Amino acid sequence: MVDSVLKGISIDNRIVNALKSHRIINMTKPLSEFGMSRYKKRRNVKDEDMFSYSGKKVFVHLDNGDVIGFASNDVKRSVVTWFDEKDGVKEHFYLCRRGDEFSYDDPALSVKDNWSGIINEKVISITVFSVKNPVEDKKFVDSFEAAILLETAKGNMLISDASAAFKYSSSMPVVKLDDAPDGFFDNLEARVL
């Protein structure tokens, strides 16, 4: 499977360095009206929560033109990451941006104020939350990285692998740390990068 070779952020120093060296200027998700409509109807999701809960990918756009992708990976049971665009060159075409997107400030599909502490800021801290005692063996050194917390001087963003515990069951919730459900971190251990 192609996406299984993508790395967890804990073993990709290029991604860590890019996030800490450049300001985040935008965050986007693929826009699939059919998929979003089905998800919204099945889970009774409010329009304004679609940025946080729909889909399995989010793209972080940096002020130097690079775009970093994050996705939920079923093989590793982790959040994986890659450069969607690095120095003007597209990478990992299997998961790259392919067209219509909507961003963190979409007036109908997001709550812009949730992300005001992330936009135009550099990440100063990255924490990876891994499952303490997974019920199955690790297939990869970066398996079971259940969530990534990006923190700036003014805000934070938690990117989680699939979970039914959040406000809405989701393939990859992208929320503020305060929106993590009670008990979410109980079986996780934190590692600051």
Residue 76 structural domain = 2-192
Q: How does pLDDT run across 102-138, given as a tens digit for each residue?
A: 999 999 999 999 999 999 999 999 999 999 988 888 8
Distance CA(24)–CA(155), nearest Å, equals 12
Cα torsion angle, 167, 168, 169, 170, sign: negative
Find out whether 8 and 161 touch, Cβ atoms under 8 Å: no
Amino acid found at 77: R
Binned at pLDDT 50, 70 and 90, residue 4 comes out as very low
What's the total number of domains in the chain?
Answer: 1
Between these two residues, 3 and 147, which has the higher pLDDT value? 147
DSSP 181: P
Q: Report how far apart, in Å, the C-alpha atoms of 74 and of each of 67, 71, 105, 144, 163 are.
A: 22, 10, 28, 10, 12
Task: Identify the pLDDT of residue 95.
Answer: 63
Per-residue pLDDT at 91 = 73
Q: Quick one: pLDDT at residue 164?
A: 86
pLDDT in tens, 75-94: 899 999 999 989 888 776 65
pTM summary value = 0.91
Closest by CA position to 52, among listed 185, 167, 130: 167
Q: Quick check: 146 and 188 in contact, CB under 8 A?
A: yes
Strand runs labelled E in the chain: 7-8, 24-30, 57-62, 67-73, 78-86, 89-90, 101-103, 125-131, 145-151, 156-160, 174-175, 188-192
The better pLDDT of the pair 79, 97 is held by 79
Q: What is the mean pLDDT of the chain?
A: 91
Q: How far is CA 92 from CA 86, 89, 118, 121, in A?
A: 11, 10, 25, 26
Mean pLDDT within 45-66: 95
